[in-house]
Amino acid sequence: MKGVIDMHVHTNPDLRLRAYDDFEMMEAGIRVGARAIVLKTHQGTTMDRAYLCNRHNEIVHGKTNNFTMFGSITLNKVVGGINPKAVDVVRDGKVVPELNDVFGLIRDHNAVLGTAHVSPEEAFIVVEAARNAGVKNIVVTHPEWWIVDMSVEDQVRIVKDYDVI
């Protein structure tokens, strides 16, 4: 696991019980030599939680590891979404106009776009629009999970055509 970066980890507290809380996850990451973990939640943001983990790491472990915890924001209703109906990402085969503003922020801050729980068809539309808007860092979020259910063929194609993770 040396050097691995996990881009999508849910920890406690969350909507349902998870295996670890933030500090336990940080310690587990350090133990296996991970480079970083990105905390996720559907209840808001995790930047503050990541800050506390990094500060704890600094206080407890000093400069003995190269681990960083990162926060994230899920653009759903809890944080205002990308619009009042955050689940409306694609309409009539195109991304909603509000998403272009989000792409601009992601591009300008060299952040990472995660596709969330969209269908494979919507993922291709979102990824193409993001690339056209100059977004460089895109993760297709858990493509094999039953809600997304992206075929292996589509996974290979989206990586090949759009250079996503």
Q: What is the pLDDT of residues 31-72, one digit of tens each?
A: 999 999 999 998 888 999 999 999 999 999 999 999 999 999
Q: Using the Cα atoms of residue 100, residue 115, residue 2 and residue 12 in order, give the sign of their dihedral.
A: positive
* pTM score: 0.74
- Is the pLDDT at 119 greater than 60? The verdict is yes
Q: Residue 42 in contact with residue 14, Cβ under 8 Å?
A: yes
Residue 88: the pLDDT is 54
- Is the pLDDT at 118 greater than 60? The verdict is yes
